[in-house]
Amino acid sequence: MPRSNPRLLRTLAAVSAGALMLGLAACSGGASGGGSAAGGKSTVVWSTWGSADELKRYQDFDKEFMKRHPDITVKLQPVAGYDDYHSKLLAQLTSNTAPDVFYVGDDMVGQFVGSNRLMPLKSLMDGAKSKSKVDDFSPGLFGAAEKDGEIYAAPNDSNPDVFWYDKEALKAAGITEDPATLAGEGKWTTSAFLDMNKKLRDAGLTGTMFWNYWATQWSWLSSQGVSAPYDKGGKFVANKDAGAVKALDQFGSLFQDKTFLVADTLPDGAGADSLFVSHKAGFFVQGRYTIGTVEAAGSKDSYDIAPWPTPDGKAAPTGVATSFLAINKGTKVKDAAFTFWTEFLSAEGQTLRLQGGGNAVPSIKGADDVVLDGYPAHAQTFLDMRDIGFVNYPTEARLPGIRGGIGDQFLALYQGKQDAQATLDAVGKLVQDGK
């Protein structure tokens, strides 16, 4: 359940804590703090954020888990908002009242690893009782959860940002080529993509909508053949790269002439989802959770997905949003907590949570069939992009609050208030000052 995407953060923040708790009363613990062991039985307390539908899936998992393990009681403590969740959890860790197992967002995991409050997991993952071995996961998904050869959390699932496209909008703009077909033929080039966007704009439609967050900025660079914005030592170097400056100048200009839209800035009631399901935009860059949006609108047959376009039409690594599952280093029920943790992350656990139109892509081997259930037509694209993609860079994930400042700088670029060089210089200063 990756949740660094701003659209999803707003959605979650809008859900009241009372509403979340209502459907989970049967398996939720009201008090803060970790679990306990007595009389041969253990109680594991775990916490996450999520929508009502997502939390219902967790409730179902908890029930199945407790059937298999009658000696372990599981209590879920949901928190309504993503930002509220992490601040509360950090306070609980500091006061030794944190849950035994908990989610951490990809923009926060580095800070949590640095707190020295997470249990080292590598030896446990490769132990006899593990159902989620290190090698079972897509290696590029650990990111800042891995430090100095140790693993402190594992990706519970993932969401590659794909190019959802609306066939009706493309047709209305006189576009006859299909992006997914072009991608399959190695012809999904930047030139072809931008030509479609120009036709959409000329037809009075929006070309592409992007969210203003790390995966958008750094995926554009990677897809256009630019090196990573950080070097191997974690130093920000994009502002010294002429190719990065050129690619971002092009990217920014397309927002400035309204071919592209920043989804975060659209008004309530006329947001990106609304534009997309009303066939007023050709492309919307999002994850698998978009299935729910188009299904609710009753127009799912109009949509399909394609990867990020590249200059030569060959697939390139792009951003994969993730969230992580960690274990409290101070838990009093280590064995029970690990049993829950490893089964939650296992292929069986991810299948249970993600099947039937679930909102994410598995992070572990053996669960991919939940994605290949017939929708969208080119669902394999999710898996292909996950397998070559990258997660949020460790440097950013270890700097508290850095993404807000970086987002502000890129928004200034998109609004024409500064050029690409000034934007990257400002980002470099933010990173340097934040260390």
- Is pLDDT above 80 for 359? yes
- For residue 242, what pLDDT is reported? 98
pTM given for the model = 0.90
The predicted model gives 279-295 an average pLDDT of 96
218 and 229 Cβ atoms separated by less than 8 Å: yes
- Kindly tell me the sign of the dihedral angle through the C-alpha atoms of 351, 349, 99, 120: negative
**Do 171 and 139 belong to one domain?**
no
Structural domain boundaries enclosing 234? 162-318+399-434
**Do 179 and 290 belong to one domain?**
yes
Decide: residue 79, CB within 10 A, 0-12 exposed, 13-18 middle, 19+ buried: buried
**Do 188 and 299 belong to one domain?**
yes
- Is pLDDT above 60 for 142? yes
Q: Which of 79, 148, 157 lies closest to 114 in space, CA to CA?
A: 148
CATH assignment of the domain containing 272: 3.40.190.10
- For the chain, the domain total comes to 2
Question: How would residue 31 be classed by pLDDT, with cut points 50, 70 and 90?
Answer: very low
In a domain, 259, yes or no: yes
The predicted model gives 220-246 an average pLDDT of 97
**Do 201 and 139 belong to one domain?**
no
**Do 155 and 183 belong to one domain?**
no
**Do 366 and 248 belong to one domain?**
no
Q: Which of 93, 84, 91, 83 lies closest to 116 in space, CA to CA?
A: 93
393 and 189 Cβ atoms separated by less than 8 Å: no
